Amino acid sequence: MPQLSETDQEIFPVSAGIDDDGEITIGGCAVSELADEFGTPLYIYDEDTIRHMCRLFTRGFKDAYERSHIEYSSKAFANPALAKIIADEGLHMDVVTGGELVFAKAANFPAERLNFHGNNKDREELAEAIDYGTGRITLDSFHEIGLLNEVAGEKGVRQKVLLRVSPSVDPHTHLLTTTGVLDSKFGFSIETGAAADAVEQAMAAPNLEVMGLHFHLGSPIFELEPYSQAIDYVLKFAAEMREAHALPLTEFNPGGGFAVGYVGEELPPPISAYAEEISVAVRSGCDRYGLEEPLLTVEPGRSIVARAGVAVYQVGGIKRIPNVRVYVSVDGGMGDNIRPALYSSEYTVRRPQQPYASPTEKVTVVGKYCESGDYIAKDVELPVLKSGDLLCTPTSGAYSVPMASNYNMTTRPAIVMVKDSTARLIRRRETYEDLLATSLV
Ligand SMILES: *Cc1c(COP(=O)(O)O)cnc(C)c1O
């Protein structure tokens, strides 16, 4: 029985395999059959992998710190079918806009398990969150403290909140996904004294009930040490604020950012290692600063869904520039996955049919958008391709379709969820009618 290579087994969905025809299958479905039925570009999500990751996180953190829960960060991939699985697995979920809240509502996601994040929530979004009974709202600015206190007052509600602080810790990831340093739009800086002022104001706001503190360093974070460094700093701050303003630290949320393996050579620490690092840091920090151990929440987004998703494209033209490069054009690109263009993100690319066939050649897989920066993967070794071949990129489940655009007036791809050899559409492909629907002549 043919098998995925050892490194591919780490980055493809847990249910992936190779069938008797030598083709990659996901959830028991051959990739080419899904492409035939639903067209390309296509995003395939594997339900088993999503559930597997939810359980790895829940168990990993419970083993290390009993009073913990896992909050899926829905911006990594917001979809009602996914939200139902997340709810079913007992996770909490966060949203960062009114639009993401609408998706949570569409899945009947339990309101008390929701946390509303974001650095500039407006009055309508805050009102919608309160009306739905959103369990926590994480406040990010002085403007929000005042605004939420006002909106909650109008509604006769005392809203439970967390304050997002910025611990000035650099997690050594991409500049564009670094969020917890001093020079960041996110959170109240502890270093400048803004966080202390925020605690004082929020504690004095009659319609807010402060439950504790939150921070998020950035993503993806391959190192463990930035977490413990930031946790210690924030717990020290919490102890100072308990003295100064009677701040309770009932809840503590050190964010998400857990890395995933996009290419076989760069695999992250296991979830259990993050859980251990964070739990030890929380326990020893509480001990050091005389705090009671809080309820611990972590917020994985990428690491819940990235590995579950596989993008499938079809090869069109192939351009060979002798001694320079071979460009392989596919029918998707930056419109459905802007991460390579935006963050220089790397992906593994496989031909689903006979993925390890030889001879091979080094190619650059590019999209169909009118930008030279539109590519999927540079200098990847693939079997010699011809027009009409399929290509797939594993670990495409996070921050690709959620960032998809209609650039060049392309239609955004279909998404299917596979399980036990069946596939169901969870988002249909857009049509030209969809493209025209919002424009007025
Ligand atoms: C994006 C985000 C997360 C999740 O980050 P991942 O890298 O996807 O795990 C968690 N918390 C906050 C506040 C975020 O903005």
Question: Could you report the per-residue pLDDT of 71-103, keeping only the tens digit for each?
Answer: 999 999 999 999 999 999 999 999 999 999 999
Contact indicator for 336, 108 with CB cutoff of 8 Å: no
Ligand 1: atom nearest CA of 221 is 7
Confidence tier at 179 by pLDDT (50, 70, 90): confident
CATH number for the domain harbouring residue 378: 2.40.37.10
CB of 173 closer than 6 A to ligand 1? no
Alpha-carbon distances, residue 310 vs 42, 285, 304, 350, 366 (angstroms): 8, 40, 14, 10, 17
CATH number for the domain harbouring residue 284: 3.20.20.10
272, 304, 336 - which closes a domain: 304
Largest Cα–Cα distance of the chain, in whole Å? Answer: 71
CB of 126 closer than 6 A to ligand 1? no
Domain count within the chain? 2
Q: Is residue 1 part of a domain?
A: no
22-77 pLDDT per residue, tens: 999 999 999 999 999 999 999 999 999 999 999 999 999 999 999 999 999 999 99
Contact indicator for 184, 217 with CB cutoff of 8 Å: no
H/E run at residue 356:
none
Pocket test of ligand 1: the residue of 117, 222, 223 to mutate, having most ligand atoms within 8 Å of its CB, is 117
Give me the domain span that covers residue 317.
Answer: 6-39+308-436
pLDDT at site 265: 85
What is the whole-number distance in angstroms between the Cα of residue 107 and the centre of ligand 1? 21
Ligand 1: atom nearest CA of 259 is 7
Whether 180 and 208 share a structural domain: yes
What is the whole-number distance in angstroms between the Cα of residue 300 and the centre of ligand 1? 6
Contact indicator for 188, 198 with CB cutoff of 8 Å: yes
Which residues touch 375 (CB under 8 Å, ≥6 apart)? 333, 334, 340, 341, 364, 365, 366, 367
Q: Is the pLDDT of residue 411 over 90?
A: yes
Q: Which residue is associated with the tokens 């500049």? A: 175
Whether 97 and 196 share a structural domain: yes
Whether 145 and 221 share a structural domain: yes
Averaged over 352-371, what is the pLDDT? 98
Which residues touch 205 (CB under 8 Å, ≥6 apart)? 145, 146, 149
Q: Which residues are catalytic?
A: 370
